[in-house]
Amino acid sequence: MDRVIFHCDLNGFYASVECLYNPEIREKPVAVCGSVEERHGIVLAKNEVAKKFKIKTGEAIWQARQKCPDLVVVPPHMDKYLRFSRLAREIYEQYTDQIEAFGIDGCWLDMTGCTCLFGDPAKVADEIRRKVRDELGITISIGVSWNKIFAKFGSDLKKPDAVTMIGREKYKERIWPLPAKELLYVGPSTYRKLMRYGIMTVGGIAGIDPAFLRTILGKWGEVLWVFANGLDNVPVAKSGAESTIKSIGNSMTTPRDIENSEDLWKVVFVLAESVCTRMRRHGLKGRTVQVSVKDKDLAYKEFQQGLAVPSCLTVELASSAMELLSRNWAWQKPIRAVGVRAANLVDQNSVVQLSLLWDDTRRQKFEALEKSVDRIRSRFGDRAIQHAVVLEDRLTGHQNPLYNTVHPVSYWK
């Protein structure tokens, strides 16, 4: 028996909620946008009226206004969006306990065992669609198929306020002609690689030798081949199940472009401190550090390297990130955004190979010190205690030992 999988996608979610609270703008082109002053001035969501002007998510506000001078721009209100996301989930829970979130506005539902109770899948999907519209005042598109990937396709094919069935009989003629970039997890970089080999459609991915895809995309190429052929059998997670944390990261778009290492170090240190605080909260340590940069022209690059020993220490993660940047970033253009991530996470109590090159007792003391800082901040606030490196005084411009590529133990001595 085939599975019955729904993908529920709330249409233009942020914009729909804003129009619900402001009925006077409902018939106008509306875009929810970030703050221009904080350099987050991009379109986060738009309503159906704005879509007719070909306004795209992710483009700058000035670009959107060129397409639609009468565009109504409103700021985001995450508390409202979280509330409506929760209310929609409560409707889904009336039908199944297998609900897996895919972003704040989307969920997969496994309805395989529920059809005996509620009847035909198309009828049930239409019932959910009407409940969301009538009870919440916003619309939803639902894709119905036998796997998660094709259900997601279904929810994208017809919007707004629609149910789309994708069965085994006609999936090739409905999905295979679509551009390859429409397949879930095919990003811009992967799409460019596929186009170099003349693979332009989902059917092109499905019809090619998976071994060849592996040569150009690595093991992910075979995964995409499985997706395109409708062979995905990944289960929908049960509601309330906690997924394994694979990485922890943080990123920042800076108030002004970064043009020197001194300013970059401050940003990297603050991001690393945030990441390490969250690792300690979850009882984890990272074995790999990843750093990403976006220049003023929005070109994006990412680098990574392993750590000598799993760590949750700010100074180790930050200095390793700076070492990566010093080797790979030539400062041809100023930096607009920076991200730091710890990956390959392990339990903080896992066994590690000791080394004679540094004093592990000293490392343990600094772990205890940072945990003490965490406790102080949890009681008195994040600004109760801070590292001197992030304070705005003349000392921060002084040569910092952390710029050296030696092991960070030298900083502690």
CATH code of the domain containing 361? 3.30.1490.100
Contact 290, 249 (CB under 8 A): yes
- Kindly state whether residue 233 falls inside one of the protein's structural domains: no
Q: How many domains does the chain have?
A: 3
Residue 240 is predicted with a pLDDT of 64
Q: Are residues 184 and 168 in the same domain?
A: no
Q: Are residues 141 and 262 in the same domain?
A: no
Q: Are residues 58 and 106 in the same domain?
A: yes
- Kindly state whether residue 261 falls inside one of the protein's structural domains: yes
Residue in this structure with the two tokens 């990261």, named with its chain if needed: 249
Closest residue by Cα to residue 29 from 14, 42, 46, 43 = 46
Give CA–CA dist 288/291, Å, rounded.
10
pLDDT by 10-residue block (mean), the chain, 413 residues? 92 95 94 80 91 90 93 94 95 93 93 85 95 96 96 93 93 94 90 94 95 92 95 84 76 88 90 93 92 89 90 92 92 92 87 65 83 87 78 41 33 32
| Structural domain span for residue 292 | 247-412
Q: How many CB atoms lie within 10 A of CB 310?
A: 21
- Kindly state whether residue 375 falls inside one of the protein's structural domains: yes
Residue 135 is predicted with a pLDDT of 96
Burial class (CB in 10 A: 0-12, 13-18, 19+), 262: middle
Q: DSSP per residue over 115-144, as a string?
A: HHHH--HHHHHHHHHHHHHHHHS--EEEEE
pLDDT in tens, 312-366: 999 999 999 999 999 999 898 999 999 999 999 988 877 666 666 666 777 788 8
Bridging pattern class, strands 140-145 and 162-165: parallel
Residue 412 is predicted with a pLDDT of 33
Q: DSSP per residue over 265-320, as a string?
A: HHHHHHHHHHHHHHHHHTTEEEEEEEEEEEETT--EEEEEEEEEEEE--HHHHHHH
Q: Are residues 196 and 108 in the same domain?
A: no
- Kindly state whether residue 239 falls inside one of the protein's structural domains: no
Q: Are residues 381 and 255 in the same domain?
A: yes
198: left (phi over 0), alpha (psi -120 to 50) or beta: left
Torsion sign across C-alpha atoms 294, 186, 242, 321: negative
Residue 6 is predicted with a pLDDT of 97
Give CA–CA dist 130/115, Å, rounded.
18
Residue 148 is predicted with a pLDDT of 95
Helix, strand, coil tally for the chain in percent (to 5): 45, 20, 35
Q: Are residues 166 and 296 in the same domain?
A: no
Closest residue by Cα to residue 388 from 275, 269, 281 = 269
- Kindly state whether residue 238 falls inside one of the protein's structural domains: no
- CATH number, residue 13: 3.30.70.270
Residue 382 is predicted with a pLDDT of 78
Closest residue by Cα to residue 31 from 54, 8, 10, 9 = 54
Contact 236, 108 (CB under 8 A): yes
Torsion sign across C-alpha atoms 391, 392, 394, 396: positive
Give CA–CA dist 318/321, Å, rounded.
5
Q: Are residues 252 and 355 in the same domain?
A: yes
Q: Are residues 170 and 182 in the same domain?
A: no
- Kindly state whether residue 260 falls inside one of the protein's structural domains: yes
Closest residue by Cα to residue 291 from 263, 250, 236 = 250
CA distances from 150 to 6, 39, 156, 167 (A): 9, 36, 10, 9
Outline where 56-201 has alpha helix (H): 61-67, 78-92, 115-118, 121-136, 148-157, 171-175, 188-196
